[in-house]
Amino acid sequence: MSDTVIQPRPVGHPLAGERMSGARMIMQVLADEGVTAIFGYSGGAILPTYDAVFLYNEQCVRLGEPQIPLIVPANEQGAGFMAAGYARASGRVGVCLVTSGPGATNTVTPVRDCMADSIPIVVICGQVATAAIGTDAFQEAPVPSMMGAVAKHIFLVTDPAKLEATVRTAFEIARTGRPGPVVVDIPKDVQNWEGVFQGEGLLPIPGYRRRMHELSQAALEAPSAARFFAMLGEAHRPLIYAGGGVINGNAADALTEFANTFSVPVVTTLMGIGALDTTHALSLRMLGMHGAAFANYAVDDCDFLIAVGARFDDRVAGVPAKFARNARHIAHLDVDRAEVNKVKRVHWSHVGLLAGALRALTAHGRQTRFQRDFSPWRAELAELKRVYAMNYDRASPLIQPYYVIEELNRHARGEAIITTGVGQHQMWAAQYCDFTSPRLWLTSGSMGTMGFGLPAAIGAQIAQPGRLVIDIDGDSSIRMNIGELETVTTYDLPLKVVVLNNFGDGMVKQWQKLFFKGRLSASDRSLHKKDFVRAAQADGFRYAVRLARKQDVARVIAEFVAFEGPAFLEVMIDPDAGVYPMVGPGQSYDEMITGEFIPSRHKVDIKPPDPSEMF
């Protein structure tokens, strides 16, 4: 959910009026849109555009201008996640360039992942020649029907005269409103066509642009602000619930200013991590299924919940009727009208650009000299944070994953970009890492796609070459796209890859132990023969180490982080380590399981989720 508005374009393009191929037009529009990297794998139906990329960069070398590097992955899924990592880390539109058929189908998962997490990418697919569409030609796939179900928008370009405007419009749609992935399917003959480059122009999409204009003009008026502050004035325990929309909408500074001005504490979703500095005095970190116990108890205790760029999803509000059960009022600010009252009814709402709305509320409160003493509430929360703090078996002789992440965090200092796969390691990283600003935490939230971490880290490192980038991964998750280890060394990226090895699908095993009487059906990898260190060495990692002794953790992690260039670390962790707290699906926060080392303020009987509930 983004607050990005359409930027004005310069007039009088220097290449306007020049004849060029469709492929060259595609490349020129990418350059005009500020693309600084392309991620993709070649193939027959996209060869003309790949040749245009080559010729564009060759010309840049002659003119002494910056090239647009083409990063080639091991698999098109990797390219899609690299584009997503680039977009998440930079706030710019990521670009993925793939061929027809399997090239396109391999990008379906990252496209859906980006749609679910509101990430702006443009996927350009080659397609068989226009006359061959629908004939089951070699490497043909029905991209519009496949991608149309999972993307924000899909274009099939059959009129070459509209190619230039279509690619430009794809970027407009991807980045505006609630951002998302846009797919442009381009037949090979359209790429080979020659025509006059206009240097400007967009497709006519009046309905969409009208909605975007209304969104940008949706000012938060004084009467509405007054109603909001009337509710805040009645509250004793207000709480901000910030989601990924704050990150995507570039509204973190405005949220921080609002929270500071009125001393309102903040919890964030998994996707909202970094919306407020996690070390800030008002930060209560992450809520939800694996949120901190003190964060979830704060939600139970609050009397005014202020949702900002969040959607009350099932990982947070498993039982909507019991979520924020003591809240007398709920307010909701979002860029997407469809999210308001979708899951939980609210008493006040504003649909519009989040940063502007938050600043308008802050300005109104200052102008009206709004004052409310929430110090007793903050003292209650400080006690919750002390009593129900994150904790684990620190005396165990086995390497605990929490300890490993604490050590990584000590070196990262809240300033590194952290990517993850999906599973236990993902939740441990969310719980134990600090993030002092937005766009440092990159994870697959809504889709929960294993294999996301490594390629996303590559995209992030390309987008932010000066940042320390660490992929905290799991032994099962990294297997999904382990071919991208070679991509790291091919481009000599100083990426740090950590694999927390617990011999299997850790989160699945945790559920099986809790709810399926310990039957580890298809989740145990203890008999597998994979040697991750040798695999990394074979792919060119000069630093590839296995860490198996607890007493070596601090020293090895310090060496690993300090190593110049790509580094790989496999850590043999306690295979029985669990993710706690845990709220089962379809259960409320008073049923939260806190494990052996985090206190609980409720007596909880562990019970399996309802048969209809999802994983």
Q: How far, in Å, are 415, 465, 511 from residue 409 at the CA level?
A: 9, 20, 27
CA 194 to mean position of chain CA atoms: 39
Please pick, among 18, 67, 139, 162, the residue that the annotation labels catalytic.
139
- Which entry of 138, 367, 415, 607 is annotated as an active-site residue? 138
Q: How far apart are CA 376 and CA 378, in angstroms?
A: 5
* CB-side neighbour CA atoms (13 Å) of 203: 20
Q: Is 172 a catalytic residue?
A: no
486 is catalytic: no
Position 132: which residue type?
Answer: A
Nearest to 453, CA basis, from 424, 422, 476, 475? 422
Pairing state between β 194-196 and 19-21: antiparallel
76 is a catalytic site residue: yes
Residue 1, SS3?
coil
* Strand duo 348-351 + 417-420: pairing: unpaired
Number of H helices, E strands in the chain: 23, 20
CA-closest candidate to residue 444, choices 114, 153, 175, 122: 114
* DSSP assigned state of 160: G
DSSP string, 506-523: HHHHHHHHHHSTT--TTT
First to last CA, the chain: 25
Angstrom distance (rounded) from CA 250 to CA 309: 11
Per 3-state DSSP, the chain is made up of helix, strand and coil in percentages (nearest 5) of 40, 15, 45
For residue 567, the SS3 value is strand
Laid out side by side, the sheet with 238-242 consists of: 283-286, 266-268, 238-242, 304-308, 329-334, 348-351
User: Whole-angstrom Cα distance, residue 418 to residue 441?
Assistant: 5
DSSP 7-42: PPPPSS-TTTT-EEEHHHHHHHHHHHTT---EEE--
In angstroms, the CA 180 to CA 164 distance is 20
Q: Which among 147, 231, 286, 507 is annotated as catalytic?
A: 507
Strands 417-420, 567-572: pairing kind: unpaired
SS3 400: coil
Reduce the DSSP state of residue 286 to 3 states and report it. strand
Are 329 and 344 spatial neighbours (Cβ–Cβ below 8 Å)? no
Q: Examine the residue annotation and report whether 496 is marked as an active-site residue of this protein.
A: no
CA distance 392 to 427: 14
Distance CA(111)–CA(20), nearest Å, equals 30
Could you tell me which of 343, 333, 287 has the C-alpha nearest to residue 313?
Answer: 343
DSSP state of 200: -
Q: Which of 33, 76, 407, 484 is catalytic?
A: 76
Of 152, 188, 344, 385, the catalytic one is 188
Fill in the DSSP letter of residue 335.
Answer: S
Residue 263: name the closest of 294, 285, 288, 232 by CA: 232
CA angle at 367 for the pair 364 and 372, rounded to the nearest 5°: 80
Q: For the chain, what is the radius of gyration of the CA atoms?
A: 25
Cα(424)–Cα(579) distance, integer angstroms: 6
The question of whether 551 is a catalytic residue gets the answer no
**Residues with catalytic roles:** 76, 138-139, 188, 507
